[in-house]
């Protein structure tokens, strides 16, 4: 079996997997063209911390000269928007606040229709920088907190006093009424603190608590993650926490899509089930490195293309790496699993640990039974086109236009269902205001971008 070699593929010392492309050609051609709804962009490898698990091995020794210059970044933003008119663009690093042109890049993307968020360790989030980011159109900030115990957090992040600085930044984000996400990497050292961290995040007003599971890449290559059984126990806890904080804060796993199985089995009302794809790596999601390489996700150092010599659209549509990830065939237990459409295992971990990005995820404990049908996603999911069936007022349509494109279909469906259940003949701004309280954010505290009125 052979596959076209990826252009400039980076295999991190492993051979690229070999597949029979023709076997899945008909299936790929029959489906809709995939859209990159979320793009993570590592703008720099420079960082004031040296976190133990950093997938990009960031640190203070990296040079700005190794990054794409501002003009090239703005060109890439425009190319992304040609392919995906309303994506979620995550500007990260390293530490993205070390780039002086961060706001310039954010403004170009926001003006073009992207929902722009910034991923940061939080230690450099002064009130002046928060104001600057908001003025540039940034809609939210993701902040990393791995423990409320400064000894653990500061050691894990390799930065004395970093927890105190990050907690102070959270308070400044609250005062500025800028939405924020709390991100935690689960290890044996903080496994027992997950519920406490989630409760703290909800109390502070986070819109989401994201629990990351270790993928052995970058500085985490030598890090031992949890066992498959331990992973499962954390996922069970996260689904329960999702129920507890519904309407206030979303609770999600990252790099452990097996949470979908638990949601289907125990929480049919979970917002997690609005996701349509298995691990979105290379399907609805990709990453850009500081020097302009496109990879399927931040945790898979496999080059799909080079933005210094190709356009984003040509890479997204033509890369053999991305095309293969969109094929239906998975190996091992993932290929036999009844949850393969909605979960499919972590592709980055399969590559990192097995050398095959379509192989089974070794972090999963589930053994497929073969006794139940393949689980299919909901009819309307993230990325679905908005297809209104009710009349909408002009003001309501304008409010919906400001909702990020990849959730517009889900939100439209939710709003119309609400209106129909109450006998409203038309969706108006007043109907939208009623619906807002049912979304997974505490709207009593703020008016975030999901259906919020234009603050201007």
Report residue 114 as tokens.
């992207």
The structure tokens 């499962």 sit at 232
Residue 414 near residue 95 (C-beta atoms within 8 A): no
Report residue 335 as tokens.
């290929």
Each residue's pLDDT, cut to its tens digit, for the chain (456 residues) gives 333 333 334 444 343 433 333 333 333 334 567 889 899 999 999 999 999 999 999 999 999 999 999 999 999 999 999 999 889 999 999 999 999 999 999 999 999 999 999 999 999 999 999 999 999 999 999 999 999 999 999 999 999 999 999 999 999 999 999 999 999 999 999 999 999 999 999 999 999 999 999 999 999 998 888 999 999 999 999 999 999 998 889 999 999 999 999 998 999 888 888 776 678 899 989 999 999 999 999 999 999 999 999 999 999 999 999 999 987 689 999 999 999 988 999 999 999 999 999 999 999 999 998 777 888 776 545 556 667 788 889 888 888 777 766 677 767 877 888 888 888 888 898 888 887 755 544 333 444 444 444 433
CA-based diameter of the chain, in Å? 62
Report residue 122 as tokens.
């939080």
Report residue 318 as tokens.
């033509």
pTM of the model: 0.84
Kindly list the strands in the beta sheet with 179-186, ordered across the sheet, starting from the edge strand earlier in the chain.
Answer: 250-254, 208-213, 179-186, 138-144, 115-120, 88-92, 38-42, 285-288, 293-295, 305-306
Mode of pairing for the β-strands spanning 293-295 and 38-42:
unpaired
DSSP notation for 431-444: HHHHHHTTSSS-TT
Helix, coil or strand: residue 350: helix
């Amino acid at each position: 079996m052979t596959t076209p070699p990826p252009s400039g593929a980076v295999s991190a010392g492993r051979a690229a997997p070999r597949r029979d492309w023709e076997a899945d050609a008909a299936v790929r051609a029959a489906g809709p063209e995939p859209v990159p709804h979320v793009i993570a962009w590592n703008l720099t490898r420079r960082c004031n911390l040296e976190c133990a698990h950093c997938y990009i091995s960031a640190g203070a020794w990296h040079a700005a000269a190794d990054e794409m210059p501002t003009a090239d970044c703005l060109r890439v933003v425009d190319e992304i928007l040609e392919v995906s008119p309303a994506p979620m663009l995550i500007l990260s690093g390293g530490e993205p606040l070390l780039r002086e042109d961060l706001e310039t890049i954010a403004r170009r993307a926001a003006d073009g229709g992207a929902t722009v968020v910034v991923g940061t360790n939080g230690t450099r989030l002064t009130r002046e920088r928060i104001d600057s980011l908001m003025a540039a159109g940034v809609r939210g900030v993701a902040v990393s907190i791995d423990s409320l115990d400064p000894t653990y957090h500061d050691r894990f992040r390799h930065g004395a006093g970093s927890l105190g600085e990050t907690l102070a930044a959270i308070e400044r984000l609250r005062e500025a009424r800028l939405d924020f996400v709390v991100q935690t990497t689960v290890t044996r050292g903080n496994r027992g603190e997950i519920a406490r961290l989630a409760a703290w995040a909800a109390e502070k007003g986070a819109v989401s608590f994201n629990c990351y599971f270790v993928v052995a890449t970058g500085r985490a290559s030598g890090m031992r993650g949890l066992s498959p059984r331990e992973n499962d126990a954390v996922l069970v806890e996260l689904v329960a926490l999702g129920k507890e904080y519904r309407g206030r804060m979303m609770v999600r796993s990252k790099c452990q899509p097996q949470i979908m199985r638990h949601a289907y089995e125990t929480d049919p009302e979970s917002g997690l089930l609005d996701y349509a794809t298995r691990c979105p790596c290379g399907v609805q999601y990709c990453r850009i490195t500081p020097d302009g390489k496109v990879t399927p996700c931040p945790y898979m150092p496999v080059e799909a293309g080079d933005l210094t010599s190709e356009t984003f659209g040509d890479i997204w549509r033509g890369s053999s790496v991305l095309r293969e990830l969109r094929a239906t065939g998975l190996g091992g237990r993932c290929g036999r699993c009844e949850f393969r459409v909605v979960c499919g295992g972590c592709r980055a971990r399969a590559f990192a640990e097995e050398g095959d990005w379509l192989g089974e995820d070794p972090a999963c404990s589930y053994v497929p039974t073969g006794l139940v049908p393949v689980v299919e996603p909901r009819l309307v999911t993230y990325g679905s086109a908005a297809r209104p069936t009710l009349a909408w007022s002009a003001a309501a349509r304008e409010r919906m236009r400001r909702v990020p494109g990849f959730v517009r279909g889900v939100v439209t469906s939710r709003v119309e269902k609400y209106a129909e259940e109450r006998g409203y003949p038309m969706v108006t701004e007043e109907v939208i205001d009623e619906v807002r309280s049912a979304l997974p954010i505490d709207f009593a505290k703020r008016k975030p971008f999901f259906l919020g009125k234009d603050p201007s």
